Amino acid sequence: MGLNLHLFADQKSDVLRKLKFGEPVKFDRDSLESPKEEWIPVKLEDGLSGFIKRSVVRSVPPKQYLSTLLFEAERMILSNQIDFPAKQEITDTIFAISSTGKFTGDDFIYIRAKAGFFLKKTVDLMNTKGIKPDNDPSTLEFLKRHQTKLLYDYSSGKYFVDSNYFWKLLEAYPKTKHSDYAGYLATESMPAVECGTDLKCRLEEMRKGKLRYIYLFPTGNYITLYTKDLVNNLQSMTKDPDSIPCFAPVGEGIKSEINQMIRYASEIGPREKKQILPHLQILKKECFR
């Protein structure tokens, strides 16, 4: 996917090196050759200068660099026209740029959250296409680079972004402008668990995902959506109290889970609390007999 930096404003001239997606370049005012219609003289951050095609470069003021970069990256990550290796490169680039130390505070959590989202989309594509890293050395290297952010599910043979990547980001930067977005990504990255009728499993999944978001972001953008989902889930469990799968002796795991959820639900916004807490109290009544 790399873009060629040429020695001269000519496709046939030597390629000095390939530029990566999002690499910042500056117009080279010292160039002896004047700009042509198709070509532009540029200087890289390491001092190397040459020519690139005008059509592959965007001119942006420094303050708009990050927003433009992430907009273009997301457009390409979500595009069906961009192949899997190119999406790997974009993801790698955004992670690399996020680690340079140039971005702090709001900007840092935003670029790290977006990088995690791009990793999720790239890994989802790998799973969908059935690409196996054992048969693809470059994909294996890609997964190794990001192994601390990934989980592997042995039963399905698929990789997932670990939702803790986003939760840890939130813990480190809890009150920034983009914390809510990171919280949404954390919740959406929770692996789908086949709990069946296992009550502890179902409650734990709710507490670690949507209830955690509601607890952390009382005015978050996704609060209405997640409250509705949670209430529907709890309603399906409690509409017939006699059918709640709490069989004596009730395990400590179920009791602990119900108590934790009640503690969370007691501290959320009044509107959400009013909808969620009564269902948890029904569970407590039935399971703590």
Q: Are residues 111 and 225 in the same domain?
A: no
CB distance 199 to 244 below 8 Å = yes
The residue behind tokens 């086949």 is 194
Q: Are residues 48 and 71 in the same domain?
A: no
Query: How far separated are the first and last CA of the chain, in Å rounded?
Result: 63
> Where is 217: in which H helix or E strand?
none
Highest average pLDDT, of 10-19, 47-56, 115-124, 163-172, comes from 115-124
Structural domain ending residue among the three candidates 133, 163, 192? 192
What pLDDT score does 54 carry? 85
In terms of Cβ atoms closer than 10 Å to its own Cβ (0-12, 13-18, 19+), residue 147 is exposed
Give me the domain span that covers residue 267: 196-289
CB distance 77 to 121 below 8 Å = yes
Q: Are residues 221 and 184 in the same domain?
A: no
Q: Are residues 48 and 120 in the same domain?
A: no
What is the pTM (predicted TM-score) of this model?
0.83
What pLDDT score does 36 carry? 73
pLDDT tens column, 63-107 = 899 999 999 999 999 999 999 999 999 999 999 999 988 899 899
Rounded distance between C-alpha atoms, residue 229 and residue 79, angstroms: 29
Q: Are residues 46 and 66 in the same domain?
A: no
Q: Are residues 167 and 232 in the same domain?
A: no
CB distance 15 to 4 below 8 Å = yes
244 contacts: CB under 8 Å, gap ≥ 6: 199, 237, 238, 282, 283, 286, 287
| Total tally of structural domains belonging to the chain | 3
Greater model confidence, 2 or 131: 131
Q: Which among 221, 235, 218, 220 is positioned nearest to 269, based on CA atoms?
A: 218
pLDDT at 118 over 90: yes
Report the percent of the chain where pLDDT is more than 90.
60
Q: Are residues 22 and 145 in the same domain?
A: no
CATH code assigned at 37: 2.30.30.40
> Where is 264: in which H helix or E strand?
helix 252-265
Q: What is the DSSP code (8-state) at residue 41?
A: E
pLDDT tens column, 231-267 = 999 999 898 888 888 877 778 888 999 999 999 999 9
Q: Helix 270-287 crosses helix 252-265 at what angle (to 10 degrees)?
A: 160
Structural domain ending residue among the three candidates 160, 175, 192? 192
Torsion of CA 166, 167, 169, 173, to 10 degrees: 140
Q: Are residues 66 and 134 in the same domain?
A: yes
